[in-house]
């Protein structure tokens, strides 16, 4: 072989790495540890797209670099293998989801291995394997024992066509986002996890994390802490069985405005609605509540800008601040799921209440001064209390505190913190998920299975649809369902866990993946936890990361992990988009059906003009790029390098196949720099063993320094640019001493490992370079003896000087004044001021 030929090089080295277990985690306690993790993929039938290798290449470069820097690196890969798509495919194709999943995993693994990623495959995990999910069940038991898992009758999104509940995020506009099937609200008994018990800690512990600020903020907003008070309102004329006046409680963040509460609102689902409604209003209220019940939460929220609606109950509540009777309304702008499901309405100082009050002609009262006319618009800003009795004259913050104290003294209210975060609906009516380790008695009571009864394996089924009477698919396994305990027949839980369950702890299993007696050993956890760098898509910013943090904290409380947080540093790679082409009728064309003429795009066959835009890759837009095709044409090293060279890792950026050609050319030049393309042997320039020129050494050491610091900062695009500069400079040299060649090859190796290995062996090393130490640089080469100094006149560049480093102002000024360009600008005018920054610039002000 004489030319660079990735198709020949790459498979050989991939085989070499596997054969010699080059990337096996050493488990050598003398070495410092480094745990670098990718968000493991769901193995879909569509296979890998070019977005996957982006994050995987980044972590691979880090892993290879850290190994060379002497770390014991844990860099594993596995499969988030349970999930609905395989189950749907199973129903469609009449096959078993396990079979489909294993097939997809095989394909994913093949594609990933073609990229030359340095995973320790001996640690591969599969969340749908029995030895994995038995431990998911085991951890669920821990949650149950801590009182954090409970069965509750809750309103859910039920999709009749799919026969399952759906998570809130799977529903939009009353439809299942995947299929468009209608979703209805239904009350069902479901497993819930009490994530709300950890709300404050999930919020507080965000502070110590090295995460993107956007993700931290999204988590904070999702948790949604707000401080305020609960205030009790007595209901005039409505009594409890004890004879005391019935009351309801509202949550407010503005107790300072209590004197301005001119009405109150209950959510349609509020339990007191039926009781307090007067006979005269009953028909209207019932009709309203009935309608609201059939509107899914999400849809109600989408109506944010919609006209307010509501119905008067006929009842009145006593405002505890001033004893006034205020009407109680029912309206769907108040939600049962937040706070107490009831509010005090202060139309003068809340925009929503204001809109409602205007529509229904309810009184509006100013109680905080400092705004415009509250009859026109709510004043939500700062000010001083007015029309508020004992609060008058106080600023908002003091008035809040004073009012809460006053309410607490009188038993009319209490200081309170609430969170938007809700408990986690943890069951699904599906087959392809973890069975719960739970038995149910005839009377509905719960019998958790002991540890030694695990795993509860999935029974074999032929039909994965729900039963005809609407029970989950597992109810078809009649024998499996029935369990005899002490002569009593108990039934297994037939719901399964959601897909999030397996991904909540997989990073822990990677630490000790073959453990048969525990999910992971304490020693392994102490060695490897926490994950040092976690890389994945921003789409998991809230749910996966919040759920995993929650489980981690529960395990921490059980003494099973030694860190409060699972992922110390998080990095989100940006999505890769692609150009798409559309004609006036919005019909899409694939890139090979179109051509460019004078900056305008046309369909080749018909000449019809098309518009071009950058969009998400999708089949229907004909703009999907398959990594297999790129590897086949340019090789894995070129694909890796291009994905890293496109731009900053975190940026969203468009794919351009022409860019792959560019980096391929660079790899080709690396090859021809060291290899004689006629003979295929090491080039004469390397073999000559001449002294390296100072210019070459300078380039080399700067490259070593820059590439190392860029890798540490995940700035791969500029690292590659620096290596290109090195090669461009080295090409001009007569000789490339072996030592220089070797150090450059080592620097290149994390990025283009196949080519680097090949060159390394040509340089006479029989062993893989994967454990060679990272080259060190000599700082003396990083400083110049001479520096270029720009000379400005009135801030504009007029000349450039080359002066010795550290040159004094007088010297530089003298040289500058001799420059014709400078003289022309000065034109005999006196110099008013000289600004001189040593080794940087000279500016003359005239």
Partner RNA sequence: GCCGGAGUGGCGGAAUCGGCAGACGCGCCGGACUCAAAAUCCGGUAUGGGCAACCAUGUGUGGGUUCAACUCCCACCUCCGGCACCA
User: Considering only residues 158-187, where is the footprint of RNA by CB under 7 A?
Assistant: 169
The nearest distance, CB 280 to RNA, in angstroms, is 25
Identify any residues that bridge with 600 across adjacent strands, giving them in sequence order: 597
The nearest distance, CB 815 to RNA, in angstroms, is 14
**Interface of this chain with RNA, residues 714 to 773, rule: CB under 7 A:** 715, 717-718, 720-721, 724-725, 728, 731
Structure tokens at 108: 């994913």
In this structure, the number of other CB atoms found within 10 A of the CB of residue 407 comes to 21
Contact 789/839 with Cβ under 8 angstroms?
yes
Contact 794/817 with Cβ under 8 angstroms?
no
Q: Does 647 bind RNA (CB under 7 A)?
A: yes
Stretch that binds RNA, among 138-146, 147-155, 301-309, 603-611 (CB under 7 A): 301-309
Stretch that binds RNA, among 362-370, 504-512, 585-593, 666-674 (CB under 7 A): 666-674
Structure tokens at 558: 């059980």
Cis peptide bond upstream of 655, omega within 30: no
**Alpha carbon distance 498, 82 (integer Å):** 9
**How would you label 754-782 residue by residue, b for 16+ Cβ within 10 Å and e otherwise?**
bbbbbbbbbbeeeebbbebebbebeeebe
260 or 433: CB nearest RNA = 260
**Interface of this chain with RNA, residues 28 to 47, rule: CB under 7 A:** none
Q: Does 20 bind RNA (CB under 7 A)?
A: no
182 or 659: CB nearest RNA = 659
386 or 575: CB nearest RNA = 575
Q: Does 658 bind RNA (CB under 7 A)?
A: yes
**Interface of this chain with RNA, residues 342 to 361, rule: CB under 7 A:** 343, 350, 352, 355
Stretch that binds RNA, among 27-35, 61-69, 471-479, 784-792 (CB under 7 A): 784-792
**How would you label 805-831 residue by residue, b for 16+ Cβ within 10 Å and e otherwise?**
eebeeeebbebbeebeebeebbeeeee
Cis peptide bond upstream of 455, omega within 30: yes
Q: What's the N-to-C CA distance of the chain in angstroms?
A: 65
The nearest distance, CB 90 to RNA, in angstroms, is 29
Stretch that binds RNA, among 65-73, 150-158, 516-524, 648-656 (CB under 7 A): 648-656
Contacts of residue 352, Cβ cutoff 8 Å, sequence gap at least 6: 308, 333
Structure tokens at 425: 């609906």
Q: How far is CA 643 from CA 26, 50, 56, 527, 615, in A?
A: 29, 8, 10, 32, 17
Stretch that binds RNA, among 57-65, 196-204, 471-479, 818-826 (CB under 7 A): 818-826
Binding mask 469-508 for RNA (x = CB under 7 A): ----------------------------------------
**Interface of this chain with RNA, residues 413 to 442, rule: CB under 7 A:** 418, 420
459 or 659: CB nearest RNA = 659
**Interface of this chain with RNA, residues 84 to 123, rule: CB under 7 A:** none
Q: Does 455 bind RNA (CB under 7 A)?
A: no
**Interface of this chain with RNA, residues 184 to 213, rule: CB under 7 A:** 213
563 or 672: CB nearest RNA = 672
The nearest distance, CB 504 to RNA, in angstroms, is 19
288 or 333: CB nearest RNA = 333
**Interface of this chain with RNA, residues 590 to 609, rule: CB under 7 A:** 599
Contacting RNA (CB under 7 A), which of 233, 248, 263, 333?
333
SS (H, E, C) 1-21: CCCCCHHHHHHHHHHHHHHCC
**Interface of this chain with RNA, residues 537 to 566, rule: CB under 7 A:** 538, 541-542
129 or 575: CB nearest RNA = 575
Contacting RNA (CB under 7 A), which of 91, 206, 302, 624?
302
Contacting RNA (CB under 7 A), which of 113, 253, 467, 626?
253
371 or 821: CB nearest RNA = 821
Give the torsion sign (CA, 171, 224, 549, 217): positive
Q: Does 830 bind RNA (CB under 7 A)?
A: no
In this structure, the number of other CB atoms found within 10 A of the CB of residue 552 comes to 25
Contact 457/84 with Cβ under 8 angstroms?
no
Q: Does 399 bind RNA (CB under 7 A)?
A: no
Stretch that binds RNA, among 41-49, 59-67, 498-506, 819-827 (CB under 7 A): 819-827
The nearest distance, CB 547 to RNA, in angstroms, is 14
Contacting RNA (CB under 7 A), which of 628, 654, 738, 761?
654
188 or 335: CB nearest RNA = 335
Q: Does 233 bind RNA (CB under 7 A)?
A: no
Contact 37/58 with Cβ under 8 angstroms?
no
Task: Give strand ranges (E) for 598-680.
Answer: 600-603, 609-616, 653-655
Q: Are strands 184-193 and 325-330 parallel, antiparallel or unpaired?
A: unpaired
Contacting RNA (CB under 7 A), which of 224, 314, 448, 838?
224
**Alpha carbon distance 672, 724 (integer Å):** 13
Contact 519/502 with Cβ under 8 angstroms?
no
Contacting RNA (CB under 7 A), which of 11, 163, 648, 838?
648
Please classify residue 607 by burial: count the beta carbons closer than 10 Å to its beta carbon, then call 0-12 exposed, 13-18 middle and 19+ buried: exposed
Q: Does 155 bind RNA (CB under 7 A)?
A: no
Contacting RNA (CB under 7 A), which of 667, 754, 792, 803?
792
Q: Does 706 bind RNA (CB under 7 A)?
A: no
Contacts of residue 397, Cβ cutoff 8 Å, sequence gap at least 6: none
The nearest distance, CB 662 to RNA, in angstroms, is 2
DSSP codes joined into one string, 212-247 = -HHHHHHHHHHH--EEEEEEEEEEEEEE-TTSSEEE
Identify any residues that bridge with 416 across adjacent strands, giving them in sequence order: 228
The nearest distance, CB 422 to RNA, in angstroms, is 8
The nearest distance, CB 723 to RNA, in angstroms, is 8
Contacts of residue 89, Cβ cutoff 8 Å, sequence gap at least 6: 45, 95, 97, 100
Q: Are strands 184-193 and 149-159 parallel, antiparallel or unpaired?
A: antiparallel
């Amino acid at each position: 072989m004489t030319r660079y030929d990735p198709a020949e090089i790459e498979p050989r080295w991939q085989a070499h790495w596997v054969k010699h277990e080059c990337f096996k985690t050493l488990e050598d306690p003398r070495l410092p540890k480094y745990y670098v993790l990718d968000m493991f993929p769901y193995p879909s039938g569509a296979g890998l797209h070019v977005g996957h290798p982006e994050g995987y290449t980044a972590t691979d470069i880090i892993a290879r670099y850290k190994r060379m820097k002497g770390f014991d690196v844990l860099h594993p890969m596995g499969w988030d293998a349970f999930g609905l798509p395989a189950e749907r495919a199973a129903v469609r194709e009449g096959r078993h989801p396990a079979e489909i999943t294993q097939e997809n995993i095989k394909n994913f693994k093949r594609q990933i291995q073609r990229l030359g990623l340095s995973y320790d495959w001996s640690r591969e995990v599969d969340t749908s394997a029995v030895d994995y999910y038995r431990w998911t069940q085991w951890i669920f038991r821990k949650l149950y024992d801590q009182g954090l898992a409970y069965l509750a009758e809750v309103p859910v999104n039920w999709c009749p066509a799919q026969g399952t509940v759906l998570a809130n995020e799977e529903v939009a506009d009353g439809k299942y986002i995947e299929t468009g099937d209608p979703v209805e609200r239904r009350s069902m008994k479901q497993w819930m996890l009490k994530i709300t018990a950890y709300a404050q800690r999930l919020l507080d512990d965000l502070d110590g994390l090295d995460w993107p600020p956007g993700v931290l903020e999204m988590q904070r907003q999702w948790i949604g802490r707000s401080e305020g008070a609960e205030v009790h309102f007595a209901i005039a004329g409505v009594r409890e069985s004890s004879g005391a006046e019935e009351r309801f409680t509202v949550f407010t963040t503005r107790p300072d405005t209590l004197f301005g509460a001119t009405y109150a609102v209950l959510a349609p689902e509020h339990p007191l609605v039926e009781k307090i409604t007067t006979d005269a209003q009953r028909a209207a209220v019932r009709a309203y509540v009935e309608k609201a019940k059939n509107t899914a939460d999400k849809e109600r929220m989408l109506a944010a800008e919609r006209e307010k609606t509501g119905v008067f109950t006929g009842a009145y509540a006593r405002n505890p601040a001033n004893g006034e009777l205020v009407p109680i309304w029912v309206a769907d702008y108040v939600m049962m799921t937040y706070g107490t499901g009831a509010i005090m309405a202060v139309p003068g100082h809340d925009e929503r209440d204001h809109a409602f009050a205007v529509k229904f002609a309810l009184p509006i009262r100013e109680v905080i001064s400092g705004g415009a006319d509250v009859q026109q618009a709510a004043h939500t800003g700062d000010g001083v209390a007015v029309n508020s009795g004992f609060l008058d004259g106080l600023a908002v913050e003091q008035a809040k505190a004073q009012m809460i104290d006053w309410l607490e003294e009188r038993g009319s209210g209490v200081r309170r913190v609430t969170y938007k975060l809700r408990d986690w609906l943890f069951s699904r009516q599906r087959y392809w998920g973890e069975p719960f380790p739970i038995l149910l008695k005839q009377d509905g009571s719960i019998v958790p299975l002991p540890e030694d009864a695990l795993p509860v394996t999935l029974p074999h089924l032929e039909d994965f649809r729900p039963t005809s009477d609407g029970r989950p698919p597992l109810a078809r396994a009649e024998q499996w369902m029935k369990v005899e305990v002490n002569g009593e027949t108990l039934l297994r839980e037939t719901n399964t866990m959601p897909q999030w369950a397996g991904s909540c702890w997989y990073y822990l299993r990677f630490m000790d993946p073959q453990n048969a007696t525990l999910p992971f050993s304490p020693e392994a956890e102490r060695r490897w936890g926490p994950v040092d760098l976690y890389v994945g898509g921003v789409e998991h910013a809230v749910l996966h990361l919040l759920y995993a943090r929650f489980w981690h904290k529960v395990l921490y409380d059980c003494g099973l992990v030694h860190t409060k947080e699972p992922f110390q540093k998080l990095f989100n790679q940006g999505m890769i988009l692609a150009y798409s082409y559309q004609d006036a009728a919005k019909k899409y064309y694939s890139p090979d059906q179109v051509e460019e003429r004078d900056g305008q795009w046309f369909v080749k066959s018909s000449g019809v003009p098309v518009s071009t835009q950058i969009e998400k890759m999708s089949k229907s837009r004909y703009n999907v790029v398959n990594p297999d095709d790129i590897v086949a044409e340019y090789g894995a090293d070129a694909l890796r390098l291009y994905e890293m060279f496109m731009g900053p890792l975190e940026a969203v950026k468009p794919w351009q196949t022409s860019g792959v050609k560019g980096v391929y050319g660079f790899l080709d030049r690396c090859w021809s720099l060291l290899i004689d393309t006629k003979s295929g042997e090491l080039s004469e320039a390397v073999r000559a063993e001449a002294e390296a020129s100072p210019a070459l050494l300078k380039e080399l050491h700067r490259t070593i320094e820059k590439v190392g610091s860029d890798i540490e900062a995940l700035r791969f695009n500029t690292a590659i640019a620096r290596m290109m500069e090195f090669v461009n400079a080295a090409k001009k040299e007569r000789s490339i001493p072996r030592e220089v060649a070797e150090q450059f090859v080592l620097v290149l190796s994390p990025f283009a490992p196949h080519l680097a290995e090949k060159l390394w062996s040509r340089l006479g090393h029989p062993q893989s370079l994967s454990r060679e130490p990272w080259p060190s640089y000599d700082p003396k080469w990083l400083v110049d003896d001479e520096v270029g100094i720009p000379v400005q006149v009135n801030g504009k560049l007029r000349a450039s000087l080359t002066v010795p480093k550290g040159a004094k102002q007088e010297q530089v000024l003298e040289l500058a004044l001799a420059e014709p360009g400078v003289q022309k600008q000065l034109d005999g005018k006196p110099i008013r001021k000289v600004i001189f920054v040593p080794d940087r610039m000279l500016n003359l002000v005239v």
